[in-house]
Amino acid sequence: GEAVPAAQKSSWTSFLKSLASFSGDLSSMTAPPFILSPTSLTEFPAYWCERPELFAAIADGKTDEARSLAVLKWFISTLKGQYTSRNESMGSEKKPLNPVLGELFYGTWPSNSARGGETTLVVEQVSHHPPITAYRIANNAKGIVLTGHNAQKTSFSGGSIIVKQVGHAVLTVSLPSGETEEYLITLPRLRIDGLWYGSPYIELAETSYIQSSSGWLSTIEYKGKGYFSGKSHSFKATVTPPAHVSVTPHVIEGTWHTTSKDAQTAATFHDVTTAKEEVTVVPIDQQSEWESRRLWHGVAKGIREGDFESAAKDKSRIENEQRQRRKDEAAAGTMWELKHFTHIDSDPVYERLGKLFKANPATEDGYVYQNNGPHS
């Protein structure tokens, strides 16, 4: 394809061949330079809050029904950033930098009247092999907190990469009554198409759920071209009431990267054709060595400037340091200690709320935030 530079055609072909016979951790595979992104996966959780007012607005819902719809609206509005923004900024999906264990990413979205206060982001790479990223986003003024972790199981089928997302997120809303409402959020499956032509892009597939502790459940079905609306990036969400409430379910249909409508009233439900707001991050000279943009600075610079030799050299330096650290730990009989999260074998919120919609698997592990972020 045209997207592949002439000099990298054969290395792209052999990359695709090894993909086809590969199963496990894609992130550790060596890919040709043209497909490399200068951004680490630890930055990806920021996508959850690029529309901070939609995140804040969840707290303004007066009923559990209104809040469930606000959570769904915020969630759907993050998908464009999560799954199409690399295509917009770099021409196609690219291979992100594979975070090291303990890598950190901090950010904020400033306060304004609609948001009520600052929104803060703390991300930590909690496992390197397999890659697992834990994150926490909070708007304290509004009493809204999102905590989650992300891993991927990948396979290759019919020329596409299939990515099963492992992990989940929990959103909590502190209500004026003093009670806490919880939402368990599961994640969609991804298909990465366009590989043959060297211009990969993501389509979402199957179903994800948002289960509220109030009993409201959003079931979100994802379809690509040739399915229910015929358009790529289509979805249909059904928002159903708790068993004891007789309210007609809401049905929302549209394309997640543009707009959607309430099927009954024809009113616009979400609209992401307007500008989003990227996370604010302090300059790298004010960052610690473990912070993503400082850690990967040399590699990212090489990738951006097309100096792949210096990018590869700096990447090797980082990887060798990591290997040495693991060896030293093994020799000393110590283990790397996480900074902001502790691992739990079973997330009680997942277990409790997952039962209500028969989540598969029935239990999942989790990472609990230690309330020790860099923000006040």
Interface positions with ligand 0T9 (CB under 6 A): 26-27, 31, 35, 44, 47, 82-83, 93-96, 150, 152, 161, 163, 165, 192, 200
Q: Which residues pair with 47 in a beta bridge?
A: none
40 close to 292: Cβ distance less than 8 angstroms: yes
Q: Which residue is nearest to ligand 0T9 (CB)?
A: 95
Give Rg (Cα) of the chain.
Answer: 21
Cα-based angle 12, 17, 21 (whole degrees, multiple of 5): 145
Q: Which residues pair with 162 in a beta bridge?
A: 155, 191
Minimum distance from residue 52 beta carbon to ligand 0T9 (Å): 17
> Encoding tokens for residue 230?
């015929």
Choice between 131 and 354, CB closer to ligand 0T9: 131
Minimum distance from residue 47 beta carbon to ligand 0T9 (Å): 6
Choice between 83 and 109, CB closer to ligand 0T9: 83
Q: How many residues does the chain have?
A: 376
Minimum distance from residue 138 beta carbon to ligand 0T9 (Å): 18
* Max Cα distance, the chain (Å): 65
H/E segment holding residue 13: helix 9-20
Choice between 152 and 287, CB closer to ligand 0T9: 152
> Encoding tokens for residue 341?
């999260």
Choice between 77 and 150, CB closer to ligand 0T9: 150
Choice between 200 and 302, CB closer to ligand 0T9: 200
Minimum distance from residue 94 beta carbon to ligand 0T9 (Å): 6
Choice between 37 and 214, CB closer to ligand 0T9: 37
Minimum distance from residue 78 beta carbon to ligand 0T9 (Å): 8
Minimum distance from residue 27 beta carbon to ligand 0T9 (Å): 5
Q: Which residues pair with 217 in a beta bridge?
A: 211, 240
Cα distance between residue 10 and residue 315, in whole Å? 23
146 close to 168: Cβ distance less than 8 angstroms: no
Q: Which residues pair with 149 in a beta bridge?
A: 134
